[in-house]
Amino acid sequence: MSSDIDVSSGGVTQNGGARTSDRGAATRGALLSAARDVFCDAGFAQAAVTDIVAKAGASVGSLYHHFNGKADLYLTLFEDFQGRQQERTREAINAVRDAGETDPMRQFIAGAGAYLSGCLDERDAARLFISGDGPPGFDRVMRQRLNKWARRNAALFHTADGGVDEALVTVLTGAMAGAVSEISLLDDEDAARRLADQVMVIVATIRNPGTEQR
């Protein structure tokens, strides 16, 4: 006897519900993957919804079932990328903390290095979002993300009176934003990796006024 009848609810359970949900998730994932490829190849402005659905093996209707349109796909890809970057940064900082590192500057360097490594590992995505070819208003989204990152950085750095070292946070955040842009836009991957290494060497020489030199 099958379990079609759900006695507790007095209704009928759709056995195909889980399979339908799985298919929906698979379609959504295929659309995002296809959108990433098409955006990276053609740019956001020139990308066509028909190209995305064709590459995903889906329909225009399924795209609008999961997303509001091309801009929604782009922003979802951006948030997914930033989520992975945040996780990389968090893991790197936690690793040095677990190893006994207490200097906020060295914790920052670990996290910033992980962020740059993520840009190198996902150069197509990093370049896509830094290129300036995004949906209307995306520049504001980028600024908000940078400000959010700056606030997280501020949590590491404090002055002797318990405040936040705004000058240090501004310098470090600006330096890293510039590095991300340059590294993402370089065509030569080896040159990009060398530049990332050189940037981190220079950042490591910046003194944190809130702590004594070791």
pLDDT, tens digit, 9 for 90 and up, residues 181-214: 999 999 899 999 999 999 999 988 887 665 544 4
* 136 plus 175 within the same structural domain: yes
Assigned domain for 172 exists: yes
Q: Tell me the whole-structure pTM to 2 decimals.
A: 0.82
In CATH, what number is assigned to the domain containing residue 204?
A: 1.10.357.10
* 27 plus 107 within the same structural domain: no
* 53 plus 156 within the same structural domain: no
* 51 plus 108 within the same structural domain: no
Q: How many independent structural domains does the chain possess?
A: 2
Q: At 6, which helix (H) or strand (E)?
A: strand 5-6
* 104 plus 161 within the same structural domain: yes
User: Among the ranges 4-13, 17-26, 45-54, which has the highest mean pLDDT value?
Assistant: 45-54
Contacts of 33 (CB under 8 A, 6+ apart): 56
> Is 83 a residue whose pLDDT tops 60?
yes
The answer to whether 33 touches 56, Cβ cutoff 8 Å, is yes
* 148 plus 178 within the same structural domain: yes
Q: Show the domain range for 55.
A: 16-67
* 60 plus 80 within the same structural domain: no
Contacts of 119 (CB under 8 A, 6+ apart): 85, 126, 180, 183, 184, 196
Tens of pLDDT, residues 139-190: 888 888 877 887 787 778 877 777 778 888 888 888 888 999 999 999 899 9
> Is 9 a residue whose pLDDT tops 50?
no
The answer to whether 34 touches 73, Cβ cutoff 8 Å, is no
* 154 plus 169 within the same structural domain: yes
